[in-house]
Chains A and B, each alone.
Chain A
Amino acid sequence: MAALMAGFGLYTHAIVRGIPASLAKEALRTSEAEVDVDKARGEHDAYVEVLKTRLGLDVVELPADESFPDCVFVEDAAVVCGDTALITRPGAESRRGETEAMKRALKALNLNVVEMTDENATLDGGDVLFTGREFFVGLSSRTNQRGAEILADAFKDYAVSTVPVLASLHLKSFCSMGGPGLIVIGSSEPAQKALKIMQQMSDHCYDKLTVPDDIAANCIYMNLPNKGHVLLHCTAEEFPESFKVFEKLKDYTLIPVSNMEKVKVDGALTCCSILINKKGSI
């Protein structure tokens, strides 16, 4: 598996976006939490700093747009794989406009941009899990079948399987890739059930790393030259039990990243960036 996944996690560029002040009050959320915008911006700056300085990625920083309170969560606006970028049609109507800036940024990177124009289709990038060999698309309140079909059309090389997401906002609200062939999964029942479905649907065998907290299962894996396996994950402060699990990973460069504020508006680590590999693409 690992051999087949060579190249998985290799990125050269990242796209991020600033946090508008409107996030505090207007950003969509599943809880009633109050968000401290300044704290959130602090977290986000640290996050971007890790990508830029610590990991050496070329980071494209899009300015925040006050009319799009959720615009910091760039992941939902596009799905990039190889040199193809699919501009999504976010499930939340208030977020549809976020894709414009994203589209320009991706085109500027010379990616092959595909747009989702079907008005019956919705897709949030947070529902898309790319394992290196295939896609899993969560069918959630934000993503529907048609959106998944369009994604499948955009990335014809890969199998695209659908996974029902019932208990959380996005598929990646409880899982993510922790390495080649390694799925990090939350321990909640819905998360475990979703994992089973993914395993059943796949021709490939994935290892799993189960963490106690669902949201902690959302981490960012990279495989960078001279740095090897890199994992951005939750902090001990936020999820102490899950943190211990990550700590046990060997041969990883583990980078805890705080996400205390953004998580209040359902933002996870992967939500805040789009990772792109320009070198590897043909």
Chain B
Amino acid sequence: MTTEVGSETEVKEKAEESADQPDQSEKATEETREVASAEGEEKGKEKEKEGKGISKFLPTWLKKQKSLSQTSPTKDTALKEEAISVEKQEEEGPAPEVNGLADEVPEKEAVKSEQLKEKEEKPHSKASTDTEPAKEEKVDESVEKSPEETKETTEGQGVEEEKKEQEGEVQGEGEGGGGGGEEGQTSIFQSPLRLVRKTKMKLVVCHVTLLDGTDFSCEVEKRAKGQFLFFKVCEHLNLLEKDYFGLTYKDNHEQTSWLDPMKEIKRQIRSNNWQFAFNVKFYPPDPSLLTEDITRYLLCLQLREDVASGRLPCSFVTHALLGSYTLQAEFGDYEPDQPRPVDFMSQLNFAPSQNKEMEEKILELHKSHRGMTPAQADAQFLENAKKLSMYGVDLHHAKDSEGVDIMLGVCANGLLVYKDRLRINRFAWPKILKISYKRNNFYIKIRPGETEQFESTVGFKLQNHRSAKRLWKVCVENHSFFRLNTPEPPTKPRFLTLGSKFRYSGRTQAQTRTASSLIDRPAPSFERTSSKRISRSLDGAPMISITEAGRDSAENGREHRLDDSKSPLRVHVDNIYDHDKTQDEVLKHQASISQLKRSFMEAPPPSPPQTNQWEKRLTSSPATAVRVQQQQVVSEPHAEAAAAAAPAAADCTISDTKESAKTAEVEIEETVVIQEVSKATKPGLVTVTTGSPASAPTDQETREQEVTVQEEVAVPKDAKAAKQESVSSESESEEEAEYHPNVSVSLSHTQIPEEKEEEEEEEEEEEVEDKENEDETAEPNMLAPDVSSHQAETSHPAEDISGGVVESQKEDMKKNAENEKEGRETEDSTDDLMMTPEETPNGVALSEEAVTGLAAHVGEEPEPRMNGEPRPQVICCSEPPVVKTEMVTISDTFAAQKTEIATKEVPIVHTETKTITYEAAQLDGTGDGEPGVLMTAQTITSESLCTTTTTHITKTLKGGLSETRIEKRIVITGDCDIDHDKALAQAIKEAKEQHPDMSVTRVVVHKETELAEEEED
């Protein structure tokens, strides 16, 4: 700890001037902390009422902390009281506050109840599995793994997984199709945390519209990941070849999006509309290669819908032919003896422009199919459907460089460009070097042709950044699925991250084929339903019911309401457990990492010279194509980072500003960094220190808020068990991301030079970051935690060293397995995968412990923000033991009233930087100022729509104590009506929830606001 303190102070200098006992208080004993917290709570409340914005929320987490520490059986009553008080607060506080607190109440109670049950129950399957935390739970493993593992595992292994999953499903899928009981035991170690989750039991009923038009409802834990629901649906459908399918939902803008299996459902839907649709996501180019008839049947259902709705255009004859096969499959042979009712045919929906003539033709053709089994009819249907030119093409509206409306079609082979119904260009996957988006622009970098010397970048303009991002994701996924043998390995322990880090997490087509070839079960029987499909629109009245175990209905209702009020933007804090799990994965990955070519974020074109400069070349004339040089970008972020580092407190979050000025777009960015440190020492006092690092004002046009929260956990541990984790969360720009569609090694050995260069550049950049981090730590023993996975290729010495340490630590861990609830032992992956889009604001969070976080920003469109007012705020941490200091630097005191700004036509440039540090008093552990030995470090990034979280976990062995430090960096990017304070509060709360046994030692809020107003199209 001391180490941390020392470095913190160094870094923070300014920030901590005011802080009396900045860092040393960290090691306070638990008891003290409890007391402190209890006291603080009261005061906190009072202040909360008064406080505004972020400060309001701080008390919340402090309290939470208390509640967590009180978790001991004796303090049940205290808990109750707390809960009550919290509720009061909620009621009193303005809406935003309420939001922030909403989840806490239930949780506290959950904690209570959990304790009672703690040891008796086995994983309360449903509840536990549903939760995100489930990730780390081994029970879930298979489910979670499947996507991840597939990446590394060979195809054969993939098959095994498949089996596992099957088993899991058969067993009772409460576990989320998890793999087998083998892992059940590990849960013991995690029990405390687990139970918390378990008992939480906030269940939500999800309604999934199936392909036959029926509705499937099931309960999922409120924090369940998309995957869980998806597996539930697949289980219900008895579907094994599920990789071709996915769930969709309608976002707030009525756009249909794919539910990311690796992310919490709740964070994706952003509304309380738990309404989904089960759809084909990847149309197999050759359906005859599917293994099971049931899979083909489902594909048929999708295609029938596609055809009937006009999404899949086809000729009159094809309509008739497809319709006739449908009749044969659903009704069997044509029976002349039993004529159907006159309107029989017209009740069936075959085509958008169905008429009598077509129906007659269908019937006529139907007669010719006599004797064909339903499966055969389906197969014939597919044979004809697959030839259609628009089969499997996912169309997106866009404009070309001249503003002409076009359509971009993503399919198995690449990207198609349509104008009206004409194909005017096509970019096959092998032709594409990079896919990126920035704001509402979508770019693809094209491999130079034989006669061309330079690669060219073609740009398209999407309706808005969400559309651009959606298109980008679809491209990434389709490329991965169809083009790669194995998914591109996640650059880091994290597999799926949005923004620039988003990668396809599932199996590729090659993998799923291999897996399904091993399916060994009797063909499942299933009923074919009539084509008289009901309307399957998603916009039906939201039918949501949330049930919360142990809560009365009234509370439920409230929960619900609170959720509703949550703004579209939410802070997403990654779950540590998830990370643990990912750590495991990382280890597994490591062997294969070296051979896997990583493509990582590269700065998107520095600044598309002008929005209208991006262009598309239909005839691909190189001259006209916009060439964007990527190198420039590299330097910028660092410069900024360096600048920011100095002023910033221990946690430096650096964001790089975008060239928003040029585009005159308003970017609102927030970065939240949450650090949690768990020490193996005694409970410490919670002290809140506020440092005021005048963080480097970023661009005038951006508005950022960075919050760093450090949590220190006082968990008694054996001296032996040394554990330090640091989690840094990074968020990245929501508005831009890149993807290099490199083909995995197996597929493409021919990486063109250009690509390599790019990667090198990127690596350079990352290395720079690493250096910075190391400098910060400046501890001989410290291993640079930030080794980006792609750098694995270059092999960092640090990794090796740490590897050895890790091993020794493992042993210790085993011995003290019980003590280590986190059970993340094994996965001390030394490599930290931090990927930052070069271009995007790279933030580097530096803490003493060499905790690095990246702050990314999510730039969003210039929409009015509800909160996030830059006003200086009074911080309300008034717990006796807690020392809080607040420094708020506001360069511009313009009280931005979002609404006003939004409506203004004239670009307003407004810069405001505010950094607030809350720090807990620390009990000084053994070696203050001593670096300790870094046991492990890992970084995980997760992202939700508007926020990105990078979690950096480092475990350090210091003087016989293990210390785990988790630093989370959350970047909140303001969208229209984001309540940043609320988001922050939510982030903190979630961090607390995720690490109940840890204490928050520091919260640094870095808020940068820059506004330039521009009308969005």
Complex: chain B residue closest to A134, CB-CB? B389
Say which residue of A83, A157, A197 sits within 8 Å of B389 (CB atoms).
Answer: A157
Q: Would you call B388 and A157 a contact (CB within 8 A)?
A: yes
Task: Report if A112 contacts B (CB, 8 A).
Answer: yes
Task: Report if A108 contacts B (CB, 8 A).
Answer: no
Q: Would you call B317 and A149 a contact (CB within 8 A)?
A: no
Say which residue of A82, A152, A159, A161 sits within 8 Å of B317 (CB atoms).
Answer: A82
Q: Would you call A112 and B316 a contact (CB within 8 A)?
A: yes
Selected A-B contacts with CB under 8 Å, 27 pairs? A82-B315, A84-B315, A84-B316, A84-B317, A133-B387, A134-B389, A137-B422, A145-B419, A148-B422, A149-B420, A152-B422, A153-B421, A157-B314, A157-B388, A157-B389, A158-B389, A159-B389, A159-B423, A160-B421, A160-B422, A161-B424, A162-B422, A197-B619, A200-B426, A203-B411, A281-B317, A282-B365
Cβ distance A121 to chain B, nearest Cβ, rounded Å: 12
Task: Report if A33 contacts B (CB, 8 A).
Answer: no
Task: Report if B413 contacts A (CB, 8 A).
Answer: yes
Told that A152-B422, A156-B313 touch, could you supply 20 new A-B pairs with CB distance under 8 A? A4-B387, A84-B317, A112-B317, A149-B420, A149-B421, A152-B421, A155-B315, A157-B318, A159-B390, A160-B389, A161-B426, A162-B422, A162-B423, A162-B424, A200-B428, A200-B620, A203-B411, A203-B426, A282-B321, A282-B365
Contacts of B428 in A (CB 8 A): 200
Cβ distance B809 to chain A, nearest Cβ, rounded Å: 53
Bound complex: CA A82 to CA B320 (Å): 14
What range describes how many residues of B lie at the interface? Answer: 20 to 34
Q: Mark B276-320, 1 if CB is under 8 A from A, else 0.
A: 000000000000000000000000000000000000011111101
Contacts of A134 in B (CB 8 A): 389
Bound complex: CA A200 to CA B413 (Å): 11
Within 8 A of A (CB), among B195-254: none
Cβ distance B519 to chain A, nearest Cβ, rounded Å: 26
Q: Would you call B314 and A201 a contact (CB within 8 A)?
A: no
Task: Report if B18 contacts A (CB, 8 A).
Answer: no
Q: Mark B598-631, 1 if CB is under 8 A from A, else 0.
A: 0000000000000000000001100000000000
Bound complex: CA A112 to CA B321 (Å): 16
Q: Would you call B317 and A282 a contact (CB within 8 A)?
A: yes
Complex: chain A residue closest to B386, CB-CB? A4
Contacts of A202 in B (CB 8 A): 426
Contacts of B388 in A (CB 8 A): 156-157
Contacts of A160 in B (CB 8 A): 389, 421-423
Q: Which of B387, B411, B619, B620 has the most CB of A within 10 A?
A: B619
Task: Report if B425 contacts A (CB, 8 A).
Answer: yes
Q: Which of A82, A112, A153, A201 has the most CB of B within 10 A?
A: A201
Contacts of B320 in A (CB 8 A): 282
Complex: chain B residue closest to A150, CB-CB? B421
In the A-B complex, the 9 residue pairs with the closest CB atoms: A159-B389, A152-B421, A161-B423, A156-B313, A201-B426, A156-B315, A149-B420, A157-B315, A203-B413
Contacts of A164 in B (CB 8 A): 619
Cβ distance B432 to chain A, nearest Cβ, rounded Å: 12
Bound complex: CA A156 to CA B352 (Å): 13
Q: Mark A80-109, 1 if CB is under 8 A from B, else 0.
A: 001110000000000000000000000000
Contacts of A157 in B (CB 8 A): 314-315, 318, 387-389
Cβ distance A197 to chain B, nearest Cβ, rounded Å: 7
Q: Mark B423-446, 1 if CB is under 8 A from A, else 0.
A: 111101001000000000000000
Bound complex: CA A164 to CA B419 (Å): 15
Contacts of A155 in B (CB 8 A): 315
Within 8 A of B (CB), among A188-214: 197, 200-203
Cβ distance A205 to chain B, nearest Cβ, rounded Å: 11
Within 8 A of B (CB), among A140-172: 145, 148-149, 152-153, 155-162, 164
Bound complex: CA A202 to CA B423 (Å): 9
Q: Would you call A156 and B314 a contact (CB within 8 A)?
A: yes
Contacts of A83 in B (CB 8 A): 317
Cβ distance A163 to chain B, nearest Cβ, rounded Å: 9
Q: Mark B315-353, 1 if CB is under 8 A from A, else 0.
A: 111101100000000000000000000000000000000
Cβ distance A208 to chain B, nearest Cβ, rounded Å: 15
Contacts of B316 in A (CB 8 A): 84, 112
Complex: chain B residue closest to A203, CB-CB? B413
Bound complex: CA A156 to CA B420 (Å): 12
Bound complex: CA A82 to CA B317 (Å): 9
Contacts of B390 in A (CB 8 A): 159
Q: Would you call A201 and B423 a contact (CB within 8 A)?
A: yes
Q: Would you call A149 and B315 a contact (CB within 8 A)?
A: no
Contacts of A112 in B (CB 8 A): 316-317
Bound complex: CA A153 to CA B421 (Å): 7
Bound complex: CA A51 to CA B321 (Å): 31
Complex: chain A residue closest to B361, CB-CB? A282
Contacts of A203 in B (CB 8 A): 411, 413, 426
Bound complex: CA A91 to CA B423 (Å): 21
Complex: chain B residue closest to A146, CB-CB? B420
Cβ distance A104 to chain B, nearest Cβ, rounded Å: 21
Cβ distance B272 to chain A, nearest Cβ, rounded Å: 40
Contacts of B419 in A (CB 8 A): 145
Q: Would you call B422 and A145 a contact (CB within 8 A)?
A: yes
Within 8 A of B (CB), among A113-154: 133-134, 137, 145, 148-149, 152-153
Cβ distance A155 to chain B, nearest Cβ, rounded Å: 7
Bound complex: CA A281 to CA B619 (Å): 35
Within 8 A of B (CB), among A10-26: none
Bound complex: CA A145 to CA B419 (Å): 10
Q: Mark B388-424, 1 if CB is under 8 A from A, else 0.
A: 1110000000000000000000010100000111111
Cβ distance B886 to chain A, nearest Cβ, rounded Å: 60
Within 8 A of A (CB), among B566-616: none
Cβ distance A4 to chain B, nearest Cβ, rounded Å: 7
Contacts of A158 in B (CB 8 A): 389
Contacts of A197 in B (CB 8 A): 619
Complex: chain A residue closest to B285, CB-CB? A203
Cβ distance A192 to chain B, nearest Cβ, rounded Å: 11
Cβ distance B410 to chain A, nearest Cβ, rounded Å: 13
Cβ distance A7 to chain B, nearest Cβ, rounded Å: 12
Complex: chain A residue closest to B426, CB-CB? A201
Contacts of B423 in A (CB 8 A): 159-162, 201
Bound complex: CA A221 to CA B320 (Å): 29
Complex: chain B residue closest to A196, CB-CB? B449
Bound complex: CA A137 to CA B424 (Å): 10
Bound complex: CA A152 to CA B316 (Å): 13
Bound complex: CA A229 to CA B365 (Å): 30
Complex: chain A residue closest to B412, CB-CB? A203
Contacts of B424 in A (CB 8 A): 161-162
Bound complex: CA A84 to CA B314 (Å): 13
Complex: chain A residue closest to B364, CB-CB? A282
Complex: chain B residue closest to A160, CB-CB? B422
Q: Which of A4, A133, A155, A159 has the most CB of B within 10 A?
A: A159
Contacts of B431 in A (CB 8 A): 200
Bound complex: CA A156 to CA B385 (Å): 12
